[in-house]
């Protein structure tokens, strides 16, 4: 019986973690923090962070920033907004943090990406442009906070 209740609790935790991930996907442009996300699923912030990392391979903060950077990449490819406008449109409060995180995930600063992506994706459908420019984490990446262990690179070949 103990095994069944442990399994049931594990399934409940996974359902809560999916709700957190779905909320991040929907509300990435809003001010979100781990404490608020944890309250929304009746977990402590520490438990949410550990369980999220175990289930999805990265912290909730890292997942949130990756979603924001992916959306920023799409906005920068369109070329209608400045880098600062894109920063705030995707929910980042600091241009410095946004630029640093963007460079960590994409490999170039947002201004360079905007210039190069506009040339590289001209004429491509948006769905194809998104796929070929999406940040890809290296296999050894731990999905840490604040850029520690967060290198990405394009797959070759």
What is the tens place of the pLDDT at every residue in 41-61? 999 999 999 999 999 999 999
Q: 155 lies in a domain? A: no
- Closest alpha carbon to 72 in 61, 59, 83: 83
- Closest alpha carbon to 24 in 58, 50, 54: 58
- Cβ–Cβ contacts within 10 Å for residue 121, how many? 17
Q: Is the pLDDT of residue 88 over 80?
A: yes
CA–CA separation, 143 and 120 (whole Å): 28
pLDDT in the model for residue 128? 72
Same domain, 72 and 38: no
CA dihedral (24, 27, 33, 38) positive or negative: negative
Same domain, 45 and 67: no
* Residue 157 pLDDT class (50, 70, 90 cuts): very low
Same domain, 44 and 87: no
CA dihedral (72, 76, 79, 82) positive or negative: positive
Q: Is the pLDDT of residue 106 over 80?
A: yes
Instruction: Compare 141 and 68 and report the one with higher pLDDT.
Output: 68
Q: Is the pLDDT of residue 74 over 80?
A: yes
pTM exceeds 0.75: no
Same domain, 98 and 84: yes
Q: 147 lies in a domain? A: no
CA 46 to chain centre: 19
Query: Domain limits at 47?
Result: 2-57
CA–CA separation, 87 and 93 (whole Å): 7
């Amino acid at each position: 019986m103990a095994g069944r209740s442990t399994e049931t609790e594990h399934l409940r935790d996974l359902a809560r973690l999916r709700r957190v991930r779905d909320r991040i996907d929907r509300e990435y442009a809003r001010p979100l923090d781990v404490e608020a996300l944890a309250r929304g699923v009746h977990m402590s912030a520490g438990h949410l962070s550990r369980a999220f990392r175990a289930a999805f391979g990265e912290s909730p903060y890292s997942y949130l920033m990756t979603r924001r950077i992916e959306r920023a990449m799409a906005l920068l490819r369109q070329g209608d907004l400045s880098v600062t406008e894109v920063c705030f449109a995707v929910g980042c409060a600091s241009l410095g943090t946004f630029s640093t995180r963007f460079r960590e995930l994409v490999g170039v600063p947002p201004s360079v990406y905007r210039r190069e992506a506009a040339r590289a994706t001209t004429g491509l459908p948006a769905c194809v442009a998104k796929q070929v420019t999406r940040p890809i984490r290296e296999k050894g990446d731990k999905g840490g906070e604040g850029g520690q262990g967060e290198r990405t690179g394009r797959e070759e070949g």
